[in-house]
Amino acid sequence: MPAAATTPPSSYERLGLRVQKIINSPNAQKAKAALIFRQPDEAVAEWERLLEEIAENDNVTLAYRDDGGVQIFWVVPKED
């Protein structure tokens, strides 16, 4: 029986996975901040969509830098 064919991730999914790795890195988690840049092969529209989705999260702040990078800061709310 042939193995089930898996659909490769879309360019948007690959972008999301790349940024997720950066955000989940130990250094970013410790600092509660991450610096991300759009890669030349990533579509501007997809980059803007991802940033909008990140910005919709509570306790997250985006800072757009002059060099094209985006600094993401987040706060982990205290448990009641």
2-54 pLDDT tens trace: 566 789 999 999 999 999 999 999 999 999 999 999 999 999 999 999 999 99
Residue 1 binned pLDDT confidence (cut-offs 50, 70, 90): low
For the full predicted model, state whether its pTM sits above 0.75: yes
State residue 45's pLDDT score: 98
In the chain, what are the domain boundaries? 31-80
- 3-32 burial, b at 16+ Cβ within 10 Å, e below that, comes to eeeeeeeeeeeebbeebeeeeeeeebeeee
